[in-house]
Amino acid sequence: MIWQTSRFAVDLSWPRVMGIVNLTPDSFSDGGQYFAEGDARPALAHAEQLLKQGADVLDLGAESTRPGAQPLPLAQELARLLPVLREAVRWGVPISVDTSKPEVMQAVLDLGADIINDVWALRQPGAAAVVAGHPSCGVCLMHMHGEPRSMQIQPMTGEVLPQVVAFLRREAMALQAAGVDRHRMVLDPGIGFGKTVAQNFALLAQQTELLALGYPVLCGWSRKSSLGAVVGAPGEPLPAEARSNASVAAALLAAERGARLLRVHDVQATVEAIKVWRACAAAA
């Protein structure tokens, strides 16, 4: 299985690790630990460290999509993102950009980014046209119920898997109809994006059913609040920074159920867990 991106044909015959590089002061997971307004050096140093730890792809994001997040002005997103991207595209690894704005998509693709990772699944006006107009960029289509500001105030109701499957099928087929080859697409069920704890774990338990759509699956369990809810004491969920062990466990379960891209903060621990899992599978 190959994922075609702007510069790379990514081999997905085994799970690949996508390292998260937050260029935001308000991320739920690292709280701006690697962000400095007007200074790309902390983010670049972090990105280099993730590659040393074994990341296969880097995912740069300059606008927080945490629950309750407010939209970021276009100029500010570009100011955070472009200085880091200009350097990162020189490193010879696939670079993904987490954005929903078509203007940002066009700017980063013009600079050589390989992948557009959109929590809105290209539903913002003009976004699908930007991706369809590019000859080969990769794209990740994610399911989100509602929008970041209110998605956890009014989460989904009913059985989650059929709704997610129907949405991802519809959006992928629409993009194919617009001229985007299916080998450029991966699908993300959107863990935590407008879903309850029970619904998130239902998606994990039934994840293999997503594979029937015929596209690679990306999963982003890393440090999500659902993990804190089940690992912490009753009524005392673990804070984001204490969810690393649970994140690795969830990533491994997702890989075992067919995910071929794992979007994570804890790259080294995830890479090591995948190596152990692969060694066991090879010996079976």
Q: What structural domains does the chain harbor?
A: 2-220+259-264 (3.20.20.20)
Q: Which of 135, 189, 146 is nearest to 166 (CA)?
A: 189
Question: Per the residue annotation, which of 224, 243, 257, 260 is the catalytic one?
Answer: 224
Looking at per-residue confidence, does 218 or 284 come out higher? 218
Question: Per the residue annotation, which of 223, 243, 260, 263 is the catalytic one?
Answer: 263
Q: Could you confirm whether 224 is annotated as catalytic?
A: yes
pLDDT digits (tens, 9 = 90+) for 179-227: 999 999 999 999 999 999 999 999 999 999 999 999 999 999 999 999 9
pLDDT digits (tens, 9 = 90+) for 54-113: 999 999 999 987 777 778 899 999 999 999 999 999 999 999 999 999 999 999 999 999
Buried residues in 85-106 as b, exposed as e (16+ CB within 10 A): beebbeeebbbbbbbbbbebbb
pLDDT digits (tens, 9 = 90+) for 15-27: 999 999 999 875 5
Summarize the confidence of residues 38-48 as an average pLDDT. Answer: 89
Please check whether residue 160 is in contact with residue 203, taking contact to mean a CB–CB distance below 8 angstroms: yes
Q: Could you confirm whether 169 is annotated as catalytic?
A: no
